[in-house]
A and B are shown apart, each in its own frame.
Chain A
């Protein structure tokens, strides 16, 4: 399964590179409209063609990658930053009222798919990329809390944890010194998976207008705008979709590859 790691790194690297490069250089100017050049098919001048406003699609994809990656990354950061500590606490005080509250709270958030959270936030404050981040981020918290608690619990029963307690260490110290390093692999793998789900979610939210707003280019909104043009110029709809698929696929392959590379015991699971 070395192949999936290599392929995953390649595709993910490509997306990150495109986003990074877009800060310095893009083939065309995405703020410049050229209605005369609208809906051109891919050619030597415009490698991926132009959109309904005559903008260079490759440039749009590159700039859109920024939005996708930024939203997903921050959302995963929120989920990890809050979910992992909550999961560690729940595991350390297993079956206490603290554990019960944290886990029931998780179940509750789970009942609100990120799209529903986004709908609620948008209903209250209007649409924006920040709302998309918050919506996806909130939904990520219980994901990380659950997986952290679930992987920490079996470790808490091991003898080396008891040995650490006999050595006088408290719950916080044990969680940081023994538990966290031993579940880091699992969290990294889950992180890449949530990252890919975040990109999908951002695309979906932007597609229905609950995410990034104009003029910020976004893959999801490019698709929404392309929808009516799909029979005239299929490339306008196919190109952003492929960008999403390849990035998400890359992250999923990376997750699989990392799982195998980091821990042979996890091989074959999930």
Chain B
């Protein structure tokens, strides 16, 4: 049993965590939910004693009644891994690339318990079997780079549970993974809690992930726990205003805007294929090519919003780059307003000006050395910069809800949500017909995401825009698209009106995706969907 009493963390004068009280009982799953920067990961690191240097703790962390905070580092090393273990968010970097998975899982046993190597490896084998990596396909001699992200996360879990700890802390263990993999990992964690009687602290930003999984939910905001209650109460009868807000944002749905029936086709993708040289050099004689996009066809009408959904590696990013004319295609053709899109540097400016893009990463989207006015004005390169370009920039910024004295500021001075708004302003400035939204809201916290989605819906009505909305997340697509396409292994496997595809899927893969997508319980009564009454 692990309990914290008024746990606090300070950095210099700043209070990062304040009066955190958690009670983590054996066989129970406690979810710690909050937005980025709320202090939820810090809580996990404090529990296992791995806070970044310079941070100080207050309060108590009791492990079976003994306060472990004052313990010296040597004693803590004996607790870590053995009694408290942790799994981190990023499976791609969490494992040592130069060490076999067997050695990595066995290492703690060798060092802590002094087991002979063959016995330690035997135990490692048993643990890897337990996390669903059977010996037949996953020998101990594999290196991390030979495994997928989900498989690596399984290794990380095996490594954490080698010594059967009492508490497992999982910090966003599935955030970097696809929905189907996410489901499998969550099931695995739940199974471990059930079978081995350990307690699990599941740290996440996504309330839907823990619905139906967690026994207790603690909601965190600005370094303190604002509400902590059994899961059913949190989902059906939340007390704290912030919890309600989170739930509301997660369920938020801007109203759909339907396309006019007489609309003309704007973007036509016909039988487009794109292949790469195969990544494995020794895969046999002859040049092997990987077909990333396999004879894909799709059409977007004017004023229409189309979603393109698929898991990582399905080819949606490759297709996006081809449509934007950034990468060449090997077959088929792409037409924008009837004109052919040529890849490479030679595409005509007037055609380029009809389509703009918003990317996922609000941090990488802007040159850190340019000021906002210059950033937003960059697409004017296509059309020629008008004399009143500063007014146009201000207008575009106003359109996306950025006001005040911002023109001379740099991108890093804005929050993630504000940056995505600025990216939208940059896309809007030359008044394109089509905006490609490449995972444009995926990196945002739920509340900010809801606001940006609403802005997208409003802008579309106001300017008569078409969207190609690319996402891995079905629930987001439901909110902003008229039609949706499901992509898998380079092919479109299903397409149709969004509501029809999501409520009544034809293809087994779509069904599988839907089943894996975390969902909040439906019967929450506090929501009133906001209306956008000004239709087209």
A and B interact physically: yes
Task: Find out whether the CB atom of A166 lies under 8 angstroms from the CB atom of B352.
Answer: yes
Q: Which of A34-42, A111-119, A168-176 contacts B (4 or more CB under 8 A)?
A: A168-176
Q: Which residues of A contact B356 (CB under 8 A)?
A: 166
A:184-222 near B, CB below 8 Å: none
Task: Find out whether the CB atom of A181 lies under 8 angstroms from the CB atom of B382.
Answer: no
Does B426 sit within 8 A of A, measured CB to CB? yes
Does A165 sit within 8 A of B, measured CB to CB? yes
Contact of B357 among A163, A168, A178 (CB under 8 A): A163
Q: Which residues of A contact B355 (CB under 8 A)?
A: 166
Does B349 sit within 8 A of A, measured CB to CB? yes
- Minimum CB–CB distance from A211 to chain B (whole Å) comes to 40
Does A232 sit within 8 A of B, measured CB to CB? no
Task: Find out whether the CB atom of A167 lies under 8 angstroms from the CB atom of B364.
Answer: no
Q: Which of A22-30, A132-140, A154-162 contacts B (4 or more CB under 8 A)?
A: A154-162
Q: Which residues of B contact A160 (CB under 8 A)?
A: 364-367
Task: Find out whether the CB atom of A168 lies under 8 angstroms from the CB atom of B365.
Answer: no
Contact of B381 among A162, A169, A171, A181 (CB under 8 A): A169
Interface residues on A, range: 10 to 19
Q: Which residues of B contact A171 (CB under 8 A)?
A: 345
CA distance A181 to B423 in the complex (A): 21
B:409-433 near A, CB below 8 Å: 423, 426
Does B379 sit within 8 A of A, measured CB to CB? yes
CB contact under 8 A between A159 and B379, given known A166-B324, A166-B326: no
Task: Find out whether the CB atom of A163 lies under 8 angstroms from the CB atom of B378.
Answer: yes
Task: Find out whether the CB atom of A167 lies under 8 angstroms from the CB atom of B382.
Answer: yes
Contact of A158 among B345, B364, B378, B381 (CB under 8 A): B364
Q: Please give me the residue from chain B that is nearest to A181 by CB atom.
A: B369
Among A158, A167, A170, A181, chain B packs the most CB atoms within 10 A around the CB of: A167
Q: Please give me the residue from chain B that is nearest to A164 by CB atom.
A: B378
- Minimum CB–CB distance from A12 to chain B (whole Å) comes to 26
Q: Please give me the residue from chain B that is nearest to A171 by CB atom.
A: B345
CA distance A181 to B361 in the complex (A): 21
Q: Which residues of A contact B347 (CB under 8 A)?
A: 168
CA distance A163 to B364 in the complex (A): 10
Does A182 sit within 8 A of B, measured CB to CB? yes
- Minimum CB–CB distance from B288 to chain A (whole Å) comes to 18
Q: Which residues of A contact B379 (CB under 8 A)?
A: 166-168
Task: Find out whether the CB atom of B381 lies under 8 angstroms from the CB atom of A159.
Answer: no
Q: Which residues of A contact B365 (CB under 8 A)?
A: 159-160, 163
B:341-371 near A, CB below 8 Å: 345, 347, 349, 352-353, 355-357, 359-361, 364-369
Task: Find out whether the CB atom of A162 lies under 8 angstroms from the CB atom of B326.
Answer: yes
Q: Which residues of A contact B359 (CB under 8 A)?
A: 159, 162-163
- Minimum CB–CB distance from B1 to chain A (whole Å) comes to 40
Contact of B361 among A159, A168, A169, A178 (CB under 8 A): A159
Q: Please give me the residue from chain B that is nearest to A169 by CB atom.
A: B381
Q: Which residues of B contact A165 (CB under 8 A)?
A: 324, 326
Contact of A163 among B345, B349, B353, B426 (CB under 8 A): B426
Q: Which residues of B contact A162 (CB under 8 A)?
A: 324, 326, 357, 359
5 contacts between A and B (CB under 8 A): A160-B364, A163-B365, A163-B378, A169-B378, A169-B381
Q: Beyond A166-B355, A166-B379, A168-B352: 13 further Cβ-contacts under 8 Å?
A: A159-B359, A163-B423, A163-B426, A164-B378, A166-B324, A166-B326, A166-B352, A166-B356, A166-B357, A167-B379, A167-B382, A171-B345, A181-B369
Closest A-B pairs by Cβ, 6 of them? A159-B359, A158-B364, A167-B379, A159-B364, A168-B382, A159-B365
